[in-house]
Amino acid sequence: MARAVTSAGRVVEILRELILDNTFPPGARLAETELAEQLGVSRTPVREALRQLAAEALVELPPNRGARVASWSLDELESVFELRATLEPRLTGMAAARAGEADIAELDELATRMLAVGSPGPDQDRDALVPLNTAFHGKLVRLADAPAFAAALAGAVRTPLIMRNFHAYDDASMRRSLAHHIEIVAAFRAGDPQWATAVMTAHLRNARAVMLRTVAPHSVQRDEQTH
Amino acid sequence: MARAVTSAGRVVEILRELILDNTFPPGARLAETELAEQLGVSRTPVREALRQLAAEALVELPPNRGARVASWSLDELESVFELRATLEPRLTGMAAARAGEADIAELDELATRMLAVGSPGPDQDRDALVPLNTAFHGKLVRLADAPAFAAALAGAVRTPLIMRNFHAYDDASMRRSLAHHIEIVAAFRAGDPQWATAVMTAHLRNARAVMLRTVAPHSVQRDEQTH
DNA sequence: TGCGCCTAGAATGCGCGCATTCTCCGACGA
DNA sequence: TCGTCGGAGAATGCGCGCATTCTAGGCGCA
């Protein structure tokens, strides 16, 4: 990602990363003064950054009451998956129709590397999966070349616990997930958008099942402080 | 809509309305100093508002270069319709499954009033359609009770020329559009989500055709100034 | 006449400080 | 003991001003 040239832009990137990393958990207070001090800028760029993040639904910003990291209820998380399950398969189909040889090779490379580092066993490295997975899905989004879809999806993916949590996968689900990437590449190679669409649907349903098992037991709503 | 209590919040609402109203056309410059003066506030809340609107993709905000109203290419507009055509039918189906008697009566009322004020003839009032139409679609969104869908859709609808332009409809398209609302209510009453889904798909395809006829002739990209 | 450099003006980026509002906590009364 | 009231401290809302960057127009030179 291109480094922002303004202070406010940098603060946005830093805060977004910290929120998605769960360094600031849902409900955590984001005090302007404190953040400004820690980041070495004045309150002004921090305020602007918080406004932008509020528009992205990453933080809540009630008037006169300071900013907190947004919380997602189970219903909302399910809704996010439902949204992805609606958008991504269709988007994958569009991508399949447009992918050239070089694109397919790139996806193949990513899927293969994910299979290598993600397969259950002594060499498994779940954290290494995150950037590869992001790259894979990002490539599909770019191939589809549908700006509004990309924007809508970006909003949906901007949710903690999503796209960033491979530790929750049991071995069987993980194997399925890795196989899906490979199969999507096969569908691309076969020039079969419907096949690709179907696999992506399965991919997301699998991810949804993992999420439900992870989140259902404990509550998602939290109200931690960070002092 | 609840009035914002902060200056920055009010500025956001005012600017958003002015942009969607096409008072500030795509490409128009939004100078902080000038806006602050006109709105009777300092530059600080204006800056924050512009940041938020930039996050909503309503304005472009390149560093050190001031804000301009975002432009939408034909491709992007088509993509917006594609997105709506993907989300709204599904969302309508969900709404159909949840609607109670009172909800259906409310939708019926809206659809009937739209038919009354929108039907071609001497009493036609295309501007009166806008709030009714917004209310109808908004009711569907609320009924579906899918927060992520609602957010994604809100982003898509925040585009000039969309949902606000009934003047572009020819008589036949207008009659179809009005009939669709009535038919959706019928599908709800019949408890048939698939029927509702299908009608909504047709509704959006019809709207898309109108848009293409409207926009295709002239370019959408513009670069006006407002001084 | 056309191209490039340079300067004046204006606009943005952001630090700073005061007025207002909120939160927390102790005192008072039921 | 519980609930209400009130004040001190802290945080937010926003106006203001300076440093930096961009833009426009004029001048010199090829």
Q: Give per-residue pLDDT as tens, A103-144.
A: 999 999 999 999 999 999 999 999 899 999 999 999 999 999
CB < 8 Å to B55, chain A: 51-53, 55-56
CB < 8 Å to A149, chain B: 79, 82-83, 86
Q: Do B148 and A83 touch (CB under 8 A)?
A: yes
| Contact yes or no for A130/A166 (Cβ under 8 A) | yes
Name the residue among B44, B67, B64, B43 with its Cα closest to residue B55: B67
pLDDT, position B144? 96
Q: Which fold has domain B74-225?
A: Four Helix Bundle (Hemerythrin (Met), subunit A) (1.20.120)
Residue A227 has pLDDT above 70, yes or no: no
Which residues of chain B approach chain A closer than 8 Å at the C-beta?
4-6, 8-9, 44, 47-48, 51-57, 63-64, 75-76, 79-80, 82-83, 86-87, 90, 145-149, 151-152, 155-156
Q: Residue A122 contacts by C-beta under 8 Å, 6 or more apart in sequence?
A: none
Return the higher-pLDDT residue of A88 and A75. A88
Token pair 């009354």 is found at: B116
pLDDT, position B222? 39
pLDDT, position B199? 98
CA distance B113 to B176: 15
- φ, ψ at A189 (rounded to 5°): -65, -35
D chain positions with any atom within 7 Å of a protein CB: 11-17, 21-23
SS3 A123: coil
| Contact yes or no for A69/A19 (Cβ under 8 A) | yes
SS3 B182: helix
In this structure, which amino acid lies at residue B138?
Answer: G
Residue A98 has pLDDT above 90, yes or no: yes
CATH number of B8-69: 1.10.10.10
A52-CA/D4-C1' distance, Å: 40
- CB of A33 nearer than 7 A to strand C: no
Per-residue pLDDT of chain B (227 residues; tens, 9 = 90+): 667 889 999 999 999 999 998 899 999 999 999 999 999 999 999 999 999 999 999 999 999 999 999 998 888 888 999 999 999 999 999 999 999 999 999 999 999 999 999 999 999 999 899 999 999 999 999 999 999 999 999 988 888 766 677 888 999 999 999 999 999 999 999 999 999 999 999 999 999 999 888 876 544 443 333 33
Percentage of chain A lying above the pLDDT 70 cut: 92
Residue A186 has pLDDT above 80, yes or no: yes
CA distance B182 to B116: 12
User: What does pLDDT average to over chain A?
Assistant: 91
User: pTM for the complete prediction?
Assistant: 0.87
Q: Do B151 and A57 touch (CB under 8 A)?
A: yes
SS3 A68: strand
pLDDT, position B223? 37
Name the residue among A48, A44, A50 with its Cα closest to residue A15: A50
pLDDT, position B74? 87
Per-domain residue ranges of chain B: 8-69, 74-225
**Which nucleotide, over all strands, has the C1' atom closest to the CA of B44?**
D14
Comparing CB atoms, the residue among A80, A90, A148 nearest residue B148 is A80
pLDDT, position A166? 87
- CB of A109 nearer than 7 A to strand D: no
Please state the rounded mean pLDDT for residues A88-103: 97
